[in-house]
Amino acid sequence: MSSRDRDLPHQPTLATHPVPTHPVPTHSVPAHSVPAHSVPTHPAGVGATAHRGTAAGVTNVSSGWLSRRREARAQRRAAAGRRRVVLRVELLGPGWRIVDYHPDDPDFLAIGPGGIFQVTVCDHGRSGVQLAGDVVQVDGHRPPYVALARRDAARISQQMSRVAGRRIPVVPVVAFLGTGRIVYYGRPPEGCVVTSYRDIGRALDAHGNRIAPHTIEKLVTLAARVDSGTIGQYLDAPT
């Protein structure tokens, strides 16, 4: 041993102990008990499907409600428009009678000194109307209003004539209800009166006094016997 080694402080000897080979004991954590009723018993995905089904049901109900509301609004608008047209006819005087086959349909039958008129109402709102013969064009569409007026007038005439035992003519009329401009090209449709609702009174009055008051009442009675299921703007359009 050198003198330098003797001067160093004594270093303790580190004993090496063997690493135990037995496993270290582990303490298990007790599982929390879960109530049986809180565990979902349905297979995976069923709950989500049911939720989607419920949401779809709510959507269907909402869309149905909106559809019914729009339909009711359209019916109220049609009824209000029809009242304006009827008022124009009634302004002709007490000799005129109105026959209403469908409360939810804007069309009606007018009977007065000038004859019998099946009035088909075209509610075009603010849209412009172009009329050329039998063709009516509104916003690029061609609704068959002239054909509808002719069809219903012919059906009413046939049924009234059958009951009366002689021919009773009914004149088809198309009354445009709205503020949009109406432009006429060429001749009006043959055998059909076309007018705005503001001028319908004047158009019917132009037919003169052909029918006596007592005959008008008889015609109203005949018109009431017409099958309402065979006429109306909301039936299928004629081909």
Instruction: For residue 180, give the 3-state DSSP assignment.
Output: coil
Name every residue whose Cβ is closer than 8 Å to that of residue 186 and which is 6 or more positions away in sequence. 132, 133
Position 154 pLDDT exceeds 90: yes
- Whether residue 183 contacts residue 128, with contact meaning beta carbons closer than 8 Å, is answered with yes
| Greatest mean pLDDT range, 16-25, 78-87, 178-187, 215-224 | 215-224
Per-residue pLDDT at 77: 67
Q: What is the dihedral of CA 170, 172, 177, 183, to 10 degrees?
A: -150
Give the pLDDT band of residue 58 (cuts 50, 70, 90): low
Q: Which residue has the higher pLDDT, 125 or 110?
A: 110
Per-residue pLDDT at 64: 76
Q: How far apart are CA 75 and CA 80, in angstroms?
A: 9
Per-residue pLDDT at 51: 53
Per-residue pLDDT at 82: 65
Instruction: For residue 202, give the 3-state DSSP assignment.
Output: helix
Q: How far apart are CA 216 and CA 53, in angstroms?
A: 60
Q: Which two tokens stand for residue 148?
A: 């509808």
Give the pLDDT band of residue 60 (cuts 50, 70, 90): low
Q: What is the dihedral of CA 156, 162, 166, 168, to 10 degrees?
A: 0
Q: Indicate the helix (H) or strand (E) that contains 68.
A: helix 46-90
DSSP string, 124-168: EETS-EEEETTEEEETTB---HHHHHHHHHHHHHHHHHHHHTS--
Asked which of 59-68, 116-125, 174-183 is least confident by mean pLDDT, the reply is 59-68
What DSSP designation does 196 have?
E
| Greatest mean pLDDT range, 2-6, 73-77, 130-134, 219-223 | 219-223
Q: Provide the residue ranges of all domains of the chain, joining segments of one domain with +.
A: 63-230
| Greatest mean pLDDT range, 30-44, 86-100, 169-183 | 169-183
Environment class of residue 192 by beta-carbon count within 10 Å: exposed (0-12), middle (13-18) or buried (19+)? buried
Environment class of residue 230 by beta-carbon count within 10 Å: exposed (0-12), middle (13-18) or buried (19+)? middle
How far apart are the two ends of the chain, measured CA to CA in Å?
130
Position 20 pLDDT exceeds 50: no
CA atoms within 13 A on the CB side of 63: 6
- Whether residue 174 contacts residue 182, with contact meaning beta carbons closer than 8 Å, is answered with no
Per-residue pLDDT at 106: 84
